[in-house]
Amino acid sequence: MATGDVKLIGSWASVFVMRARIALNLKSISHEFLQETFGSKSELLLKSNPVYKKMPVLLHADKPVCESNIIVQYIDEAWSSSGPSILPSQPYDRAIARFWAAYIDDKWFISLRSILTAQREEEKKAAIAQVEEGNAILEKVFIDCSKGKTFFNGDHIGYLDIALGSFLGWLRVIELDANHKFLDETKTPSLAKWADRFCNDPSVKPLIPETTKLAEFAKKLFPKPQA
């Protein structure tokens, strides 16, 4: 597949763009990454996603595909003969992976983001407790889905790995902000080991932003109120 046939509109710091980039790497799809400028939206982005006006957008032969999880599924289906399958092979396992990916976005992520947006210390503590509760749930999900193997998807990175793993760069930043470690071998031993394996996978490692660079970007995205 020629690079010109596949383009991805997004930002290096976006969790959701990260998902599409990982999926493209897993499938060894040559592509052009079109970087958006912080604080503005390009004409191409607005034209390609006129409904939500947000990234990521995958352009495949100039046809746009929007929304991160939909893009990951599309990549898996469009290049089914390239690289490992991203979605599980069995219908029930696919349904379970989609269910927990939705949980990550609709509940777990909301709690995680609340740590950075909290205005008062008690709000931050409540958000940390919610994330910890979610981590305990996801620890069990990993044990159930992985069936003793390396990733949620088994022997290689899959749909649910991408859904959760895309947050790991930001999780490091939030750990620094909250002075609290979320994934450790005491409370979530399986997830802690999984996170290390995920971040060091050749398809993922080059995409994980430097923590200091991401922390500086977080200050723009989530400015603290002046004293």
With 70 as the cut, is the pLDDT of residue 132 above it? Answer: yes
Q: How does pLDDT run across 39-53, given as a tens digit for each residue?
A: 999 999 999 999 999
Domain spanning 6-79: which CATH class is it, in words? alpha beta
Please say whether the structural domain 91-221 has been given the CATH code 1.10.287.130: no
Q: Cα–Cα distance between 126 and 106 in angstroms, integer? A: 17
Q: What is this structure's pTM?
A: 0.95
| DSSP code at position 154 | B
Residue-wise pLDDT for 142-161, tens only, equals 999 999 999 999 999 999 99
Q: Is the pLDDT of residue 184 over 50?
A: yes
Contact 215, 176 (CB under 8 A): yes
Q: Are 202 and 214 in contact (CB under 8 A)?
A: no
**Residue 4: pLDDT band with limits 50, 70, 90:** low
In the chain, what are the domain boundaries?
6-79, 91-221
Question: Over the chain, what is the mean pLDDT?
Answer: 95
CA distances from 39 to 11, 122, 156, 204, 220 (A): 11, 30, 36, 26, 10
pLDDT at 225: 58
Q: Do residues 178 and 118 lie in contact, with contact meaning Cβ atoms separated by under 8 Å? A: no
